[in-house]
Each structure stands twice: as C-alpha cells, then as structure tokens.
Amino acid sequence: NVGKTVLLPLTFPFSDQKFIPAESGRNVTLPCRAPNSNISIIVTEWSRADLEKEYVLLYRDEQFDPDYQHPSFKDRVDLQDRQMKDGDVSVILKNVTVNDTGTYECRVFQRGKNRGKRAHLMTAPISIIYLRVVDPPAASWLLMFDKSCIVVKCRTLQTSHCTNPHFHSEIFVEHTEPRGEQVRAKFIDPAGT
C-alpha cells in the first residue's frame, strides 16, 4: 500500500462563524484559516449552500479548478494569498452584489504528517461566513456651517468654501456618483441669508 493516498475524515466541533455586512460594488474578504498551518494544504473549497454542486472557489493541485465553479463567481473571486502562508485560505470576492448574499463555507484538505502519504479531509467547514450585501444609499450630503465656512461632504467628494460672513455666497456642486447618477446641489451660505 505504499504510495497510496488515504483520505481520513476529520470534524471540528467548533467552526469559526462570522457575519459580514457589505455594500454592493465593493470587494469583500471572506476570512478562513486552516487549523494546522504547519501541514500543507492540497485542496481549498469555498461553497455556498444554495449553489448545490458548484463552488464559489475550488483550488486543488496548486491551481484553480474552473470546471466546478458557479458562473456568477468566474473572474470575481481569488485567494487572498495564493501561497496560503500560515494556513490563510481567505478569499476576496470582487464587486459584490445583493445576489452574493448568503452563507459561505470554507473547507480544506491537508496533507498528512506521514511523508505525504495520507491526507486529512475536513468534512465540517472550518469557517462559516454570513455575507449580507445591500445596495449603497443614494447620494448623501453632509453640510457643516462653521461661522464663515461651508463644508460639503458626500460619499466620494469633499469640498469647502469659506467666505466673509458679511457677504452673500453660494456654492454650486455637480458630481457624478459611481452608478452614473448626476447630483447637483446649490448651497447658500447662511451668513448671507
């Protein structure tokens, strides 16, 4: 029996569980670390319960296996560290959408200590991530008036305008949000009104 690989099921009673909220359009890291970072990882599986037999990510034989990957994750998911140093098998999910909301599970297969002839199979997930993705809020503006200054802040823009309190002053702001919505605003300095 020399040279054969035997898979032994191992279960861990406590998996790492996290809730991660995210805004649509962002990149999100789903954390996962193998329990024994001294044993080399031969397979990493990321799955989501509702995907049935397809994976979010399957990494084996030192490469990604796209044949079993769900189409919605193609070109959108990657290992945070492809060398999986210290057992880090976290993934980065790019440009998340509300359709990415769900429960993600991480499993690893590790080579055994017996000269690489045995492998350990983690049948229970070592990490469970509850990801909830929401659409970002519409453009939001924050106005701050401080004596003679107006500061306008929105998600991706900050501008300020200072004036002498005895002068009437107006600010015109035009900005395009990431989703292509154009936002226009006119602010009048309260010192002049």
Domain boundary among 92, 116, 134: 134
The pTM of the full predicted model, rounded to 2 decimals, is 0.62
The answer to whether the beta carbons of residues 64 and 44 sit under 8 Å apart is no
Intra-chain end-to-end CA distance of the chain, in Å:
90
Distance CA 153, CA 160 (A): 8
Is position 51 within any domain?
Answer: yes
| Counts for the chain of helices (H) and strands (E), in that order | 0, 16
Is position 1 within any domain?
Answer: no
In degrees rounded to 5, what are phi and psi of residue 113? -80, -15
For the chain, the domain total comes to: 2
Q: 151 falls in which pLDDT band (50, 70, 90)?
A: low
Q: What pairs with residue 92 in β-bridges?
A: 29, 78
How much is the mean pLDDT over the chain?
Answer: 73
Q: Based on the domain organization, do 185 and 110 belong to the same domain?
A: no
Retrieve residue 88's tokens. 């880090």
User: How confident is the model over 71-95, as pLDDT tens digits?
Assistant: 999 999 999 998 888 889 999 999 9
Residues sharing a CB contact under 8 Å with residue 53, sequence separation 6 or more, in sequence order: 68
- Which residue in the block uniquely carries the two structure tokens 């440009």? 95
Q: Residue 27: pLDDT above 60?
A: yes
- Mean pLDDT within 120-126: 69
Amino acid code (one letter) for 181: E
pLDDT higher at 181 or 136: 136
Q: Based on the domain organization, do 12 and 106 belong to the same domain?
A: yes
> How confident is the model at residue 172, as a pLDDT?
52
Its domain, for residue 166, covers 142-192
